Amino acid sequence: MEFKNLIIEAAHGVAVLTINSPKTLNALNSEVLGEIECALFELNLDEAVKAVIVTGAGDKAFVAGADIKEMASMNAYQGHQFGLKGQRVMMLIEKMTKPVIAAVNGYALGGGLELALACDFIYASSKAKLGFPEVTLGIMPGFGGTQNLARLIGPNRANELIFTGKMIDAEKALAWGLVNELVAPEELMAKARETAAAIAGVGTLGVSYAKNAIANGLNMTKEDGFRYEASLFGVLFATEDQKEGMAAFVDKRKAAFSGK
Ligand code: CAA
């Protein structure tokens, strides 16, 4: 499928989804959100794709937020619907059966930071700037940011970031545990691709079930989470990947996983 605002490339099990509207610093309007939703849906169904990287075009921004010019004239009903549309995209990333890595190459603000937070982890350029400027616009984060940020870095740091609307630099984002690693701008995509390729080379079902256990387990009591983990762990013993992975270990050879 062709997209107006996205570039999708896929090779060797790794797909890169680039949001490509640099004139607005890749801001998320309804059309861009709709395209991201379609693209992710397709990438999730594509068995050849084992890991996805999300990034922004240009060297300035990952995504500078939801589109303020589109939101400016919305009424309460439209604002609610727009929030739900954005949240649907974020939830889709969480529910995808394959890992999604955010490669934050510049500003990740508002809906842009929400998009990065919805991914399974974030690598950031050392020049990135992250924040939730919504309160400076008279609103609040609406694409899952209040929920995902507080869960990731704890409520106190999330409160400070969201209540002030101030941006933090990449160093602070690393210190706060918001991003996994800082990378020189010119090396960011290579780093993301290297990790995605490593994920693409291991047992697809094990990765997928682990993602499911972590994401769902965070919404359960620890005891329920353990029970859930045990059931998924057990199911993996019915897969070809488990037979192949363990046989390869015993035979001292590299496993050839089929994802079945
Ligand atoms: N929406 C719409 N257009 C945007 C945009 C956004 N979020 N961010 C940038 N743009 C546009 C600018 O209007 C500008 O367009 P024009 O050339 O037509 O004027 C173009 O992108 C370039 O931006 P700047 O000239 O402002 O670039 P800069 O380098 O001076 O500043 C910036 C960069 C600090 C990121 C600044 O653009 C900025 O503050 N952007 C808005 C960030 C923001 O508030 N994001 C949160 C949005 S609300 C939200 O996301 C709600 C939610 O939770 C769902």
Question: Which residue ranges of the chain lie beneath pLDDT 50?
Answer: none
For residue 86, give the ligand 1 atom closest to its CA: 54
**Each residue of 135-165: pLDDT tens digit?**
999 999 999 999 999 999 999 999 999 999 9
Q: How many CB atoms neighbour CB 132 within 10 A? A: 27
- The alpha carbon of 37 and the centre of ligand 1 are apart by a number of angstroms equal to 22
Task: Tell me the CATH architecture of domain 6-200.
Answer: Alpha-Beta Complex (3.90)
Residue 1's pLDDT is: 76
CB of 106 within 6 A of ligand 1: the answer is no
**Phi and psi torsions of 156, nearest 5°:** -65, -45
Mutate to test the pocket of ligand 1, among 19, 20, 21, 24 (most ligand atoms within 8 A of CB): 24
Do the two domains 6-200 and 204-251 of this chain adopt the same fold? no
| Ranges of each domain in the chain | 6-200, 204-251
- Which residues, including other chains, have CB under 8 Å from residue 228's CB and lie 6 or more apart? 213, 216, 217, 220
Catalytically active residues are 114, 134
Q: Report how far residue 67's alpha carbon sits from residue 49's, in angstroms, rounded to the nearest whole number.
A: 30
Grouping H, G, I as helix, E, B as strand and the rest as coil, residue 144 is coil
CATH architecture of the domain covering 204-251? Orthogonal Bundle (1.10)
**Closest CA to ligand 1's atom 19:** 24
Task: Give the integer Cα–Cα distance in Å for 63 and 53.
Answer: 14
Nearest CA to ligand 1 atom 11: 24
10 Å CB burial of residue 139 (0-12, 13-18, 19+) is middle
Please tell me the pTM assigned to this model: 0.97
pLDDT of residue 17: 98
The sheet with strand 107-109 has its strands ordered as: 61-63, 107-109, 129-131, 167-169
Query: Could you tell me if the CB of 110 is within 6 A of ligand 1?
Result: yes
**Ligand 1 mean position, distance from CA 73 (Å):** 16
- What single string gives the DSSP state of each residue in 149-190? HHHHH-HHHHHHHHHH--EEEHHHHHHTTSSSEEE-GGGHHH
- pLDDT for the residue numbered 140: 98
Atom of ligand 1 nearest to the CA of 167: 34
pLDDT, residue 2, reads 87
Q: Which atom of ligand 1 is nearest to the CA of 82?
A: 54
